[in-house]
């Protein structure tokens, strides 16, 4: 038996990364388009219960590679195993969710296979018979179209959030588990994993906040944070921040919103001086009402905001504060 | 310790980008360029390691003539010398070809450590560093936040999602891709700028790299790039216009009466 569309599952300690289901949704939609079936592959040590769980995710098969060398994630282990899986199954497409882990090993796998990976795609579309993969360049300001030529395997990773895991179709028959007994003897693991740990303990749980004022690079310097705190006070909001603001120490790390920080969905999200890099957007796009203030009219934040003000934020914010106080 | 730092020059952030008539690239004439953000941190990491352990820092960059500006900045900050692959006649989006070129330059150097930024702010594939490692046969770690050099190996802290980290040990030589924001980037001093003038910038041609024109031909690549375009908007904010006092009043009114958040 071989596989048409292979989706690579991501797990840690037997717990599935939710973005894997987004990649399955991408696979299912692509499969419908192309008349092809979807299979999942999971790598690890002692993952039989995870494999069982995956059979209900609307895929035809769940392939597993269970090996001591895969107990911890390493790029050598994952790329080495997947290279063999792909050689044996010869899928037309191999799909990933573009997580930090995938960023670490998928390009290595691509090089081993000498098959290009089109990374961090936001969608695909049909152009006649051609399947076009769309990815963003210039930090989300411009889209770029790519196609594959010739036979697969074609490697594609999709941006986290590009597909909605709620659209997973699970109505079909449960998939079958197939344990691939491939040999990892020739795969040398050069990376020694010493520890996997959670960084700063989050002291502020922004996910429970009703209103958040988040500040970005546009506030320019640490002294200007005070004005933003006044705005937050006037709104009765918590302070949030984009990554550069926390990197520079203007606000503590536990205020960071985005892929490396917290995911929030307040009723009101005020994005001040935030351009809207995807790493930030994934952490706040489900907010109720989004207000963006930025001097760059082309900033991607305006694509997801409800209300936008294109202006010098240092002129507008004091006026917003006094208008709030008056009302 | 000999460290090679791969650096790329990209249009400055917040540039107003206009797509060329053939939809293949952006109009470059009016653009200003800067060193890619995470590459700044890769260079800073290399300079800090050199200060602590001694050795040499070599900048490797690929691009047209204008990238000399980026090289000079790096040399002024303290890098020892630079290698420049001038790719004006064979610019390509093919990552394998670009990695082949960079790898050929690195192979001539016998470095202990190769550093790259996490990803570029222009194409943003985020693949070149990792592909380069595989091409060079080196172990790698990506999205690196901290580095501790040991005898014959390094210990690094790498970032995973949602505030999780992995601590790993790698034998040297190795390649690391560096996350932005992991240190405070230094400025060049006047003395550094003066000293940089005497430092070597070696330009490498295809034949210097032991490659031929066929090696940089992307016509047989199975991934085809078609065009660039401004994203179709799925949603566009309602833009409030007027003087600051006026827009502030409009905003508060709308939040209260339309969005009903108060």
A80-117 burial by CB neighbour count: b if 16+ within 10 A, else e? bbbbbbbeebebbbbbbbbbbbbbbbbbbbbbbbebbb
| Reported confidence tier of residue A43, pLDDT bands at 50, 70, 90 | very high
Q: Domain for residue A188, yes or no?
A: no
Kindly report, residue by residue over B2-24, the tens digit of the pLDDT.
999 999 999 998 788 999 999 99
Q: Domain for residue A116, yes or no?
A: yes
**Inter-residue contact B134 to A108 (CB < 8 Å):** yes
Q: For residue A231, what pLDDT is reported? A: 97
A124 with A219, same domain: the answer is: no
- Please indicate whether, in this complex, the C-beta atoms of B239 and A193 are within 8 angstroms of each other: no
**What number is the average pLDDT over the span A138-158?**
93
The residue with greater pLDDT, B234 or B168, is B168
A165 with A27, same domain: the answer is: yes
| Reported confidence tier of residue A204, pLDDT bands at 50, 70, 90 | confident
Query: How near does any CA of chain A get to the CA of B121, in Å?
Result: 6
Kindly report, residue by residue over A283-294, the tens digit of the pLDDT.
898 899 999 999
> Any idea what the CATH number is for the domain that residue A60 is in?
3.40.50.620
Kindly report, residue by residue over A61-91, the tens digit of the pLDDT.
999 999 999 999 999 999 999 999 999 999 9
**Inter-residue contact A211 to A266 (CB < 8 Å):** yes
A127 with A211, same domain: the answer is: no
- Please indicate whether, in this complex, the C-beta atoms of A243 and B181 are within 8 angstroms of each other: yes
Q: For residue A260, what pLDDT is reported? A: 79
Q: Domain for residue A92, yes or no?
A: yes
Chain A residues within an 8 Å CB radius of B139: 75-76, 190-191
Query: How near does any CA of chain A get to the CA of B199, in Å?
Result: 32
ipTM (interface pTM): 0.92
Chain B residues within an 8 Å CB radius of A197: 164-165, 167
The residue with greater pLDDT, B260 or A259, is B260
Chain B residues within an 8 Å CB radius of A227: none
Query: Is B224 a residue whose pLDDT tops 60?
Result: yes
Q: For residue A1, what pLDDT is reported? A: 55
Q: Domain for residue A190, yes or no?
A: no
| Residue A20 neighbours by CB distance under 10 Å | 23
The residues pairing with A62 across neighbouring beta strands, listed in sequence order, are A40, A177
**What number is the average pLDDT over the span A299-320?**
95
CATH code for B2-220? 3.40.50.620
| Domains of chain A: total | 2
- Helix or strand (DSSP H, E) at A291: strand A289-294
A269 with A174, same domain: the answer is: no
Q: For residue A208, what pLDDT is reported? A: 85
Residue recorded with tokens 């092809």? A36
**Could you give the CA distance from residue B199 to residue A53 in angstroms, rounded to a whole number?**
60
Q: Is A252 on the interface with B (CB under 8 A)?
A: no
A169 with A42, same domain: the answer is: yes
**Could you give the CA distance from residue B72 to residue B79 in angstroms, rounded to a whole number?**
9
A36 with A159, same domain: the answer is: yes
The residue with greater pLDDT, B134 or A172, is B134
Chain A residues within an 8 Å CB radius of B226: 132, 144-147
A111 with A260, same domain: the answer is: no
Domain residue spans of chain B = 2-220
| Reported confidence tier of residue A56, pLDDT bands at 50, 70, 90 | very high
A22 with A136, same domain: the answer is: yes
Domain that holds residue A161: 5-179
Query: Is A201 a residue whose pLDDT tops 70?
Result: no
| Reported confidence tier of residue A60, pLDDT bands at 50, 70, 90 | very high
**What number is the average pLDDT over the span A112-130?**
94
- Please indicate whether, in this complex, the C-beta atoms of B140 and A323 are within 8 angstroms of each other: no
A45 with A124, same domain: the answer is: yes
Residue in A74, A243, A319 closest to B244 by CB: A319
Q: Domain for residue A44, yes or no?
A: yes
- Please indicate whether, in this complex, the C-beta atoms of B141 and A104 are within 8 angstroms of each other: yes
- Please indicate whether, in this complex, the C-beta atoms of A190 and B170 are within 8 angstroms of each other: yes
Chain A residues within an 8 Å CB radius of B130: 75, 103-105, 107-108, 111
pTM: 0.88
A214 with A166, same domain: the answer is: no
A216 with A94, same domain: the answer is: no
Query: How near does any CA of chain B get to the CA of A267, in Å?
Result: 7
Query: How near does any CA of chain B get to the CA of A27, in Å?
Result: 19
Q: Above pLDDT 90, what percent of chain B?
A: 87
């Amino acid at each position: 038996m071989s596989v048409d569309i292979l989706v690579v599952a991501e797990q840690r300690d037997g717990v599935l990364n939710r973005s894997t289901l987004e990649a399955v949704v991408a696979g299912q939609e692509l499969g419908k388009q192309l008349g092809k079936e979807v299979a999942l592959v999971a790598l690890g040590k002692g993952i039989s219960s995870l494999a069982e769980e995956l059979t209900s995710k609307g895929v035809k098969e769940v392939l597993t590679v269970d090996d001591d060398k895969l107990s911890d994630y390493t790029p050598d282990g994952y790329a080495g195993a997947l290279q063999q899986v792909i050689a044996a199954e010869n899928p037309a497409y191999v799909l990933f969710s573009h997580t930090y882990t995938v960023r670490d090993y998928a390009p290595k796998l691509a090089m081993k296979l000498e098959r290009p990976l089109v990374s961090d795609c936001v969608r695909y579309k049909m152009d006649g018979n051609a399947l076009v993969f769309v990815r963003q360049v210039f930090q989300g300001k411009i889209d770029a179209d790519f196609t594959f030529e010739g036979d697969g395997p074609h490697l594609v990773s999709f941006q986290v959030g590009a597909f909605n895991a709620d659209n997973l179709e699970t109505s079909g028959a449960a998939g079958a588990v197939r344990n691939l007994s491939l040999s990892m003897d020739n795969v040398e693991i050069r990376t020694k994993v010493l520890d996997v740990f959670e960084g700063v303990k989050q002291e502020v749980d922004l996910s429970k906040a009703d209103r958040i004022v988040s500040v970005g690079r546009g506030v320019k310097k640490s002294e200007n944070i005070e004005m933003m705190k006044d705005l937050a006070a006037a709104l009765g909001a918590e302070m949030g921040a984009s990554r550069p603001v926390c990197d520079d120490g203007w606000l503590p790390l536990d205020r960071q919103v985005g892929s490396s920080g917290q995911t929030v969905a307040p009723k009101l999200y005020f994005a001040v001086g935030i351009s809207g890099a995807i790493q930030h957007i994934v952490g706040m796009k489900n907010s109720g009402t989004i207000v963006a203030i930025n001097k760059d009219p082309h900033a991607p934040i305006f694509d997801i905001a409800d209300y936008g003000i294109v202006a010098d934020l240092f002129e507008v914010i004091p006026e917003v504060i006094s208008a709030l106080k008056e009302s | 310790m000999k460290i090679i730092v791969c650096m790329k020059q990209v249009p400055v952030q917040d540039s107003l980008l206009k797509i060329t008539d053939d939809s293949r690239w952006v109009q470059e004439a009016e653009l200003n360029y800067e060193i890619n953000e995470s590459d700044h941190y890769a260079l800073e990491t290399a300079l800090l390691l050199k200060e602590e352990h001694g050795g040499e820092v070599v900048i490797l960059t690929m691009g047209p003539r204008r990238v000399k500006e980026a090289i000079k900045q790096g040399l002024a900050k303290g890098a020892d010398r630079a290698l420049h692959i001038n790719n004006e006649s064979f610019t390509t989006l093919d990552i394998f070809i670009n990695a082949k070129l960079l790898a050929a330059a690195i192979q001539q150097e016998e470095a202990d450590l190769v550093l790259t930024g996490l990803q570029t702010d222009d194409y943003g594939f985020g693949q070149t560093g990792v592909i380069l490692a595989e091409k060079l046969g080196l172990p790698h770690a990506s999205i690196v936040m901290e580095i501790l050099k040991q005898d014959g190996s390094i210990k690094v802290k790498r970032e995973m999602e949602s505030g999780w980290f992995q601590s790993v040990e790698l034998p040297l030589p190795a390649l690391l891709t560096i996350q932005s924001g992991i240190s405070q980037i230094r400025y060049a001093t006047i003395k550094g700028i003066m000293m940089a003038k005497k430092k070597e910038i070696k330009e490498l041609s295809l034949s210097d790299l032991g490659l031929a024109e066929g090696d940089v031909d992307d016509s047989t690549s199975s991934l085809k790039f078609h065009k660039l375009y401004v994203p179709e908007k799925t949603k566009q904010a309602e833009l409030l216009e007027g003087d600051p006092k006026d827009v502030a009043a409009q905003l508060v009114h709308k939040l209260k009466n339309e969005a009903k958040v108060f």
